Amino acid sequence: MKKLNLFNVDAIDHLVQPAEFAEANLNSAALDFVSDFKTNSPMMIDANTCAVEAEDMMNHEHTKLKLVIDANQELVGLISYEQLSIQNVLQRLGKGVNRTDLTVADLMRPRSEIKALAYEQIKHCTIGDVLNTLQHNGEQYCLVIDTESHHIRGVISASDIASRLHIPVHIEKAPTFLNIFDRMYA
């Protein structure tokens, strides 16, 4: 048997992750940026979870987005860390909702408002194409659906793209009439 030497971990030793080894640019295959639920479990949260608890959980897990599910494990919406912000919570509290009664379902983006790209379409695109689509539509993230099997297959996030490509990504949400009305009368 060979005797191996043990080493101390130096301050200069860097913890690496798979994304650091991939040479990625805007012309890279879009599929390389999909958090594919065939190989990665989706980050999920129950719709009835208290909003304060959800914020703590996402902060602890360093998660920016979770799929919101019902008791049958079906998707009912998406919740981002931004939606759990104190500003959104205070806005609800101003309408007479008790902070301890506020749930993820109260703050989430409902399923009917979630945008998606087709997996079949993504197979033939670059991440630059996807990023352009997200920016044009004012979306920070979108689901990826398999239209043939009717499966929600994954998610793509603008912040993940920015992180992997080491570039700033700015997504401006296009204001809707309802957003403007809410701001005027909040």
How many separate domains does the chain show? 1
- Domain range for 53: 25-185
pTM, rounded to two decimals:
0.80
- Quick: pLDDT tens for 61-74: 999 999 999 999 99
Asked if 100 contacts 91 with a C-beta cutoff of 8 angstroms, the reply is: no
pLDDT of residue 19: 65
Given a cut of 80, whether residue 112 has pLDDT beyond it is: yes
Using alpha carbons, select from 65, 66, 87 the residue that is nearest to residue 159: 65
- Quick: pLDDT tens for 153-167: 999 999 999 988 989
Residue 15 located in a structural domain = no
CATH for 55: 3.10.580.10
Given a cut of 60, whether residue 176 has pLDDT beyond it is: no
Q: What is the Cα–Cα distance from 186 to 173, expressed in whole angstroms?
A: 19
- Quick: pLDDT tens for 134-159: 999 999 999 999 999 999 999 999 99
Using alpha carbons, select from 6, 23, 47 the residue that is nearest to residue 127: 23
Given a cut of 70, whether residue 178 has pLDDT beyond it is: no
